[in-house]
Amino acid sequence: MATETNDRDIKFEDYALHGVSEYWIIDPKKDECIEQYILRDESYESLVEVRSGVIASQIIASFEIPVCADILLSADNPFQNIAADPSHAARLIATLAECQTAFDAVHQP
């Protein structure tokens, strides 16, 4: 069974039936978009699609994370061709550090 079918059909129905209030999907086919859904009247309603910036939970107070898709979609994406060229590992580490910095900025006490 395809992951997309599982995420968008089976999990949607199952989670809604069990009262899961919020559901996020990371969709690589939509430019690494994060889709956020909220349970309303026993079915999910699309709330937002985010590719960059910050996404915040509508259910868990103060839970928000930076979305780094803008980095992943850039021309110098360190994830591309990492297997073909190990020198990309340094760029990967730098990108992960950048994501961590963005996360830390959002979650400063």
Q: What residue numbers bound the domain in which 55 lies? A: 3-106
Residue pLDDT, tens place only, 82-99:
555 666 566 666 666 776
Structural domain total, the chain: 1
pLDDT in the model for residue 40: 93
SS3 letters across 73-107: CCCCCCCCCCCCCCCHHHHHHHHHHHHHHHHHHHC
Q: What percent of the chain has pLDDT over 90?
A: 9
Which tokens sit at 20?
């899961």
Here the contacts of 22-29 (C-beta below 8 Å, separation 24 or greater) are 22/57, 22/58, 22/59, 22/60, 24/55, 29/4
Report whether 50 contacts 57 (CB < 8 A). no
